[in-house]
Amino acid sequence: MLDEIQGWLLKKSSLQLHVPHMAMYLGLEVKTADGEITEYRHQRSKSFVRNAYNLFFHTIAGYPMSDATWGDGYVNMKTTGGSLSSGPYRAFCFSTDSNGQGFLSPGSANDFGIIVGSGSDAESFESYALSSKIGVGNGSGQLYTLKSEDPVDSYTDHTQKRTLVRYFNNNSGATISLGEVGLVGRVITGGDTAIYALFSRDLITPPIDILDKAQLKVTYTISLVYPS
């Protein structure tokens, strides 16, 4: 409740000051094969990492991604593999209107889009990957990862909103623990070159049990309030 009040106050202050106000919410739902919902959570996502801030500043300020050092005072992107991507003449952007681009990942893949893990490492602004990503498939400890759903867009009450959804099926034969969720973008760095960069990582506490034959639904809702 306190978090919701703080969010409302932040939104009100942003409108009064004519400062952009962006919010992201994370929804988690686990449903058994017979349709019973065993877990449902809805929470504010407050775990944007350095990559997200760097891409925002790069875009809004026209600042070059020209620094080859990671950390305070440097603007670049760190891939989920841990390498840095930068260059004085390099522009970073991503298409979002077709599957296989941006945050919309094809099925049976967990390189980008909404991804899930079993790790329990504390949230960190310096995160660039999940601490223990869950593998794709129907084997032990794996989740069968479906392709991203088509995004749902809306504009009401001066608020632009996009909702991203992805489903994960547990056919492993045992319960799998969900400990973390991430949002990874397929970012175009010039020409046809692309990298995978983590934009947010949410620690799930307590972890969620995904029973065998159950389905996990992950929803990210991102909104931006415009002045009236």
Q: What is the pLDDT of residues 200-210, one digit of tens each?
A: 999 999 999 99
Both tokens of 210, joined, read: 């995904």
Model confidence, pTM: 0.90
Residue 78 has what pLDDT? 95
pLDDT per residue over 53-73, tens digit each? 999 888 888 888 888 899 999
pLDDT per residue over 87-108, tens digit each? 776 667 776 667 778 899 998 8
Residue 20 has what pLDDT? 56
Residue 64 has what pLDDT? 86
**pLDDT over 90 (residue 29):** yes
Residue 14 has what pLDDT? 53
Range of weakest confidence among 113-117, 134-138, 169-173, 188-192: 188-192
Q: How confident is the model at residue 138 (pLDDT cuts 50, 70, 90)?
A: very high
Each domain of the chain, given as residue ranges in start order, spans: 25-154+167-220
pLDDT greater at residue 153 or residue 226? 153
- Average pLDDT score over the chain: 88
pLDDT greater at residue 21 or residue 109? 109
Integer Cα distance of 222 and 22 in angstroms? 7
